[in-house]
Every structure is written in structure tokens, then in C-alpha cells.
């Protein structure tokens, strides 16, 4: 089943040559509101991390675009970082996006009460799913420091293998949302 028409219309207005990430915020805002009912979840744009609160160097880069919190648990369950689609073909930009995701897990892990915290790196409509295991502290997919093998491209383009507005991408996101809801219900 496809996304509702208003989401498709927002997606259709965006181009793959767009270099301003906030042009994608309304699309992701609508997708998140479609997936996470307001009576169970809070969608928080611009959730400040400690460095942003203190105005540290690069504070503007230490802001999470969207954080989804479970109301009954007072716990972060998902966060999303959004970058413009022009970052996708650039190896350095993907590496920075990957590093930012890993840093976010470290910055907010103390707020997590569910067994697995999900993170999504969105580059335009393409998304890469991350998971943080609270018990082990392991982040998937593994990063450069998690391997004894030399890796040239630490954030290969293939990781962003899902287009969130296509049916397969929608279904994959809804599977993650269902897993999050199951974890909350089990606690």
C-alpha cells in the first residue's frame, strides 16, 4: 500500500539535485506523523544534544533533526538525521553522515529504555537504518573502528538502499515502527 497522496505530492516536489536539507523536513515530518500516533509518541524536531545546549564548537552540527519518544516510557525510540540528496554520491559526505549517526547514539544512549534504539540516516529520500543494542552497546551496521579489515569506503552508498517513498521503502520503515511498538508493549 503506498503512502497517502499528500506525502507523494510532497515527495514529487523535491528534486535529487536539491542541496538544502531542510527542504526535506516537511516530507519526513509527514511520514513520521503517519507512522507514530500522537497519543503514544512525541515527534521532537531539533532535539538539542549537550554540545548544542552549551554552544560548543560546531554546535549547529550537533542537532538531531527528529527524535521520536515513547510517551508512556519517557524514552527515545528512534532518531532521524536528514541530509540533502546531493550528499549521496560524495564519499566524504556519506562518511560524515555515518560518523554523525554514531555520535548521536553515544550522545543519547542514556535516554534509551527500549532494548534497541533505531536511527535513520536520510540522504534525500534514500535511507540507511542503524540500530543500537542497549545491552551490548553495539551499533549496526559496523563502523570503521569495528573491523580489523582495512576499508576504503567506510560508508558505502549501498547502505542507503531504501527509498522511503517507494512501497518497499515504506514497508521497511513500517516494519521498524512495528518492532518499536512491540518493544514498548513488552516493557
**pLDDT (0 to 100) of residue 62:** 44
Rounded to an integer, the average pLDDT of 109-129 is 95
Rounded to the nearest integer, the mean pLDDT of the chain is: 86
**Higher-confidence position of 137 and 146:** 137
Give the model's pLDDT for residue 50: 54
| pLDDT value at residue 20 | 86
Task: Please report, to the nearest 10 degrees, the dihedral formed by the alpha carbons of residues 153, 61, 162, 155 taken in order.
Answer: 10
C-alpha dist (Å) from residue 81 to 25, 122, 184: 10, 6, 22
Instruction: Assign 74 a pLDDT band (cuts: 50, 70, 90).
Output: confident
- Matching residue, cell 531542510: 22
Q: What is the CATH number of domain 5-186?
A: 3.90.1570
Is 46's pLDDT higher than 70?
no
How large a percentage of the chain has pLDDT more than 70? 83
For residue 152, the 8-state DSSP code is S
- 168 has a pLDDT exceeding 60: yes
Domain boundaries, the chain: 5-186
Q: How far apart are CA 123 and CA 169, in angstroms?
A: 13
**Predicted confidence band at 1 (pLDDT cuts at 50, 70, 90)?**
confident
C-alpha grid cell for residue 74? 519517557
Amino acid at each position: 500500500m503506498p503512502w497517502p497522496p499528500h506525502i507523494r505530492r510532497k515527495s514529487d516536489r523535491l528534486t535529487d539535485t536539491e542541496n538544502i536539507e531542510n527542504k526535506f523536513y516537511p516530507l519526513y515530518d509527514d511520514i513520521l506523523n503517519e507512522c507514530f500516533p500522537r497519543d503514544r509518541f512525541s515527534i521532537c524536531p531539533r532535539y538539542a544534544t549537550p554540545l548544542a545546549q552549551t554552544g560548543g564548537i560546531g554546535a549547529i552540527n550537533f542537532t538531531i533533526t527528529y527524535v521520536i519518544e515513547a510517551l508512556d516510557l519517557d524514552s527515545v525510540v528512534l532518531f532521524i538525521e536528514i541530509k540533502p540528496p546531493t550528499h549521496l554520491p560524495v564519499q566524504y559526505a556519506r562518511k560524515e553522515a555515518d560518523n554523525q549517526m554514531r555520535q548521536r547514539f553515544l550522545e543519547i544512549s542514556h535516554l534509551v529504555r527500549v532494548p534497541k534504539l533505531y536511527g535513520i540516516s536520510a540522504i534525500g529520500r534514500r535511507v540507511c537504518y542503524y540500530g543500537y543494542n542497549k545491552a551490548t552497546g553495539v551499533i549496526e551496521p559496523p563502523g570503521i573502528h569495528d573491523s580489523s579489515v582495512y576499508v576504503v569506503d567506510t560508508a558505502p552508498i549501498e547502505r542507503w538502499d531504501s527509498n522511503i517513498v517507494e512501497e518497499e521503502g515504506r514497508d521497511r520503515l513500517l516494519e521498524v515502527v512495528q518492532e518499536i511498538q512491540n518493544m514498548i508493549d513488552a516493557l
